[in-house]
Structure 1
Amino acid sequence: MTETIHERLKLLIEAEANIAPLVNIEAVADLPTRFGDFHIVAFSNTLDNKEHVAIFKGDILNAENVPVRLHSECLTGDVIGSYRCDCRDQLEHALKKINKMEQGIVLYLRQEGRGIGLTNKIRAYSLQDQGMDTVEANLALGFRDDERDYTIAAEMLKALKVNSVRLMTNNPKKIEQLKSHGIIVNERLPHILPTNKHNRAYLKTKAAKSGHMIDFHWEADE
């Protein structure tokens, strides 16, 4: 299976570069992890040269209804394990689900801090320490609530020849943006995890002000 996937991706690189003109497939490799065995594809954005990756399992090329998670980079959460957000939990949960389903993709997108960058995210944290919520902090810094753009995510899916997806998300804007760029989204798979005392207010703000579909009828252990 590994050789087949690699060879088919190489053919995409060589013969079908015009499918998704905003991205290039640069490299493909196996990726064994503590969540299971995956493949990883490195992409470059032809507009700004940012690097993004697709982490996938199973035969996804030309497939229908592929489970997909769009995950934006979060250094403080993904790497350091910050309790201020649920990013690391979301990423790990997606990889576990995909491994269990034996098919799916995580698109890891370089959009730190909901698109405002690492330094501005830490500035926003400072404002939150002074009493602002996550939306108020972004607005105070001169940004929109969410500066992310999922054009590149759609282009990556097109480059992988994914025909339709089941999107693992609580964020309706992700669904809207993928659809607006020609990706067929046939189902939303809720992606809800326990909160903690540090991120509960943040997640409630995302639900109340940003339209995220999160159920708070339960509370997590502290």
Structure 2
Amino acid sequence: MNLSSQHYEYVMSMPEVSRMTCTRIPTDHGDFQLCFYTNTLDDKEHLAFYMGDIANAGSVLVRVHSECFTGDVMGSRRCDCGEQLDRSMAMVANAGVGVVLYMRQEGRGIGLLDKLRAYNLQDQGFDTVDANLMLGHEADERDYTLAGLMLEDLKVASVRLVTNNPAKISALEAAGINVAERVSLEVAANNDNAGYLLTKARRMDHFLPLKPASNQ
């Protein structure tokens, strides 16, 4: 195979995203634009939630949030996802400019069914990492290629990334995104998620300035 053929195969294998439509969504934090994306990598529809003039802007506040039905929708106390999503939207609203990407990567990429099975294993005493491994998955199977492409499509020049996960920073930088700064997203542990958060800090190297667990 010659170099031109190799280059052709590389270009053809690169995933693409398509912004299908955007619409105004009024929220308790203010008015956002919600953009619906399709892509050539998976069969999921990923979303961009943004506020302000982000095109060609630098140091844009960005949260790449992975879908969590139990936390985001049902208010589950087993994780910190719903609280992180709400706080991220509030941070963007306070800044006046920013993006929340909502990536359909339930359960750190293992899907809702196996996430619920992992919860059952956690109730038997295994932590979140071991539960995933026991189900035949990696500890974290998320991919941020599409997130990087969506930020490029939105013409975001550089980001202030709202995350406690160093792997997310590395993945976005590998996808070509200029991460100018990490912005901490502090959490308040409760009795149901304290062990989960501790595992993320100890076994997944998350930067988590954990506060004492509350009974609420």
2:209 and 2:155 mapped to 1: Cα distance?
Answer: 33
1:26 and 1:107 mapped to 2: Cα distance?
Answer: 15
Residue 140 of structure 1 aligns with an amino acid whose one-letter code is M
Give the match for residue 219 of structure 1. Answer: 212
Q: TM-score, normalised by structure 2?
A: 0.91
Give the match for residue 121 of structure 2. Answer: 127
Give the match for residue 138 of structure 1. Answer: 132
Residue 115 of structure 2 aligns with an amino acid whose one-letter code is K
Compute the displacement of 1:138 (Å): 0.5
Residue 191 of structure 2 aligns with an amino acid whose one-letter code is K
Asked if 1:25 is matched to 2:25, the reply is no
Could you list the runs of 5+ residues in structure 2 that have no partner in the other structure? 1-13
SS in structure 2 of the partner of residue 219 of structure 1:
strand
Asked if 1:90 is matched to 2:84, the reply is yes
Compute the displacement of 1:50 (Å): 1.3
Q: Which moved more, 1:164-173 or 1:46-55?
A: 46-55
CA contact (8 A) 2:187 2:208 kept: no
2:157 to 151, 155, 163: 163
Compute the displacement of 1:39 (Å): 0.7
CA contact (8 A) 2:187 2:209 kept: no
2:146 to 125, 147, 152: 152
Give the match for residue 3 of structure 2. Answer: none
Give the match for residue 201 of structure 1. Answer: 195
Compute the displacement of 1:220 (Å): 4.1
2:90 and 2:117 mapped to 1: Cα distance?
Answer: 32
Give the match for residue 105 of structure 1. Answer: 99
Aligned-residue Cα RMSD (Å) equals 1.1
Residue 109 of structure 2 aligns with an amino acid whose one-letter code is G
Give the match for residue 6 of structure 2. Answer: none
Give the match for residue 74 of structure 1. Answer: 68
2:188 and 2:144 mapped to 1: Cα distance?
Answer: 26
Q: TM-score, normalised by structure 1?
A: 0.89
1:49 and 1:116 mapped to 2: Cα distance?
Answer: 14
Compute the displacement of 1:21 (Å): 5.5
Q: Percent identity?
A: 52
Paired residue total = 202
2:108 to 80, 89, 114: 114
Compute the displacement of 1:49 (Å): 3.2
